[in-house]
Amino acid sequence: MTKISDILAAGPSYSFEFSPPRSAEAEAQFWVTVDELVPLAPSFFSVTYGAGGSTRELTRDLVTRINAEKGVTAMAHLTCAAHTRKELHDLIVSYRDGGVVENLLALGGDPPVGYDGPPGELEFADELVALVREVNDFSVGVAAHPEPHPRSASLTEDRAHTAAKLENADFAITQFFFDAHHYFDLVGTLAELGCDKPVIPGIMPVTTLGSIKRMTELQGSEFPGWFADRLYAVEDKGPEAVRAVGVSVAIDLCKELLDSGVPGLHFFAFNRATALAALEIHQSLDLGK
């Protein structure tokens, strides 16, 4: 399959990210959703990696099958937390030897809730990028935080750390955000630091009030007052009204980003509802094939 670094070099990318299903019923729905998105000719799919490697084999199997059967490039996420260096090395080798996975997203990650074992032999994503490079010539991405990472001491420190991660990586995908100025500040500061690697904005379609409040709290990002006001204004009209506002806001954000010449859009399609919303946004923007 194609390396994402080559995809980005050829022009803007349009991609979708999934979480591994946790039941047989969810897995059946996962493949239905994948098949609905394939006709859009996405640049790539990506599959997340459960905390502490809780979906290690499943993530690998899903990415391998997408690459082999669906005609779409797929990228596997990989995290440092709660892993030995050997465990990570062996998993990377399994991707290399499988021969159908050429793209990895290297993340620091978090240990599972309640985990009391060793934190992991690699602490930061740049260490994982270096390990991947030792094993094979994968196309390697990292995460970027527009607002910034909740564990960073300051915005300045976070931007410097992101630039350092990108020195040995090929591209970054951001966490979601709702005000475009956060993204513009991120890429502008990275440029000042001498980093010109592609940074793909991550787009989260909001379909329910409860879920987005939880997710913004978890990743330490802002849930803007103007957006909350628009959602709460239609809350009594039912979930479809809330979803419509969320999709409309995402479309406007994507238009602003596309007008600025971003290297692509990466849609978070973690469940059936967000995947269908992402599909609607993609079609509304007429991103084509």
Tell me which H or E stretch contains 216. Answer: helix 209-219
Using pLDDT thresholds of 50, 70 and 90, give the confidence band for residue 115: low
Q: What is the mean pLDDT of the chain?
A: 92
Which structural domain, as residue segments, surrounds residue 92? Answer: 4-284
* Nearest C-alpha neighbor of 46 from the set 4, 86, 84, 83: 4
Angstrom distance (rounded) from CA 253 to CA 206: 12
Residue 274's contacts (CB-CB under 8 Å, 6 or more residues apart) are 204, 205, 207, 268
How confident is the model over 199-229, as pLDDT tens digits?
A: 999 999 999 988 887 788 777 778 899 999 9
Angstrom distance (rounded) from CA 77 to CA 56: 9
Q: What is the DSSP letter of 81?
A: T
Quickly tell me which residue has 């793909």 as its tokens.
Answer: 200
Angstrom distance (rounded) from CA 133 to CA 167: 12
Answer yes or no: is 188 within a domain.
yes
* Nearest C-alpha neighbor of 140 from the set 109, 112, 119, 165: 165
pLDDT of residue 112: 67
Angstrom distance (rounded) from CA 190 to CA 107: 19
pLDDT of residue 10: 96
Answer yes or no: is 174 within a domain.
yes
Q: State percent of the chain over pLDDT 90.
A: 77
CATH number, position 151: 3.20.20.220
Q: Do the beta carbons of residue 239 and residue 208 sit within 8 Å?
A: yes
pTM: 0.94
* Nearest C-alpha neighbor of 268 from the set 21, 14, 17, 13: 17
Residue 264's contacts (CB-CB under 8 Å, 6 or more residues apart) are 8, 12, 13, 14, 15, 43, 198, 200, 201
Cα atoms in the Cβ-side hemisphere of radius 13 Å centred on 39? 6
Residue 112: asked if its preceding bond is cis (omega within 30°), the reply is no
Answer yes or no: is 217 within a domain.
yes
Answer yes or no: is 223 within a domain.
yes
Q: Show the tokens assigned to 162.
A: 């992101």
Q: Is the pLDDT of residue 276 over 90?
A: yes
For residue 107, the cross-strand partners are 79
Using pLDDT thresholds of 50, 70 and 90, give the confidence band for residue 66: very high
Q: Show the tokens assigned to 121.
A: 């032999």
C-alpha distances (whole Å) from 17 to each of 90, 196, 274 are 24, 24, 10
* Nearest C-alpha neighbor of 88 from the set 23, 36, 135, 157: 135
Q: Do the beta carbons of residue 133 and residue 97 sit within 8 Å?
A: no
Answer yes or no: is 244 within a domain.
yes
Using pLDDT thresholds of 50, 70 and 90, give the confidence band for residue 57: confident
Is the C-alpha dihedral spanning 286, 65, 139, 127 positive or negative? Answer: positive
The total number of structural domains in the chain stands at 1
Q: Which of 17, 102, 127, 147 is catalytic?
A: 17
Q: Is the pLDDT of residue 102 over 60?
A: yes
Range with the largest mean pLDDT of 65-79, 142-156, 200-214: 65-79
Is 235 considered catalytic here? no
Answer yes or no: is 92 within a domain.
yes
Answer yes or no: is 289 within a domain.
no
* Nearest C-alpha neighbor of 122 from the set 87, 73, 74, 164: 87
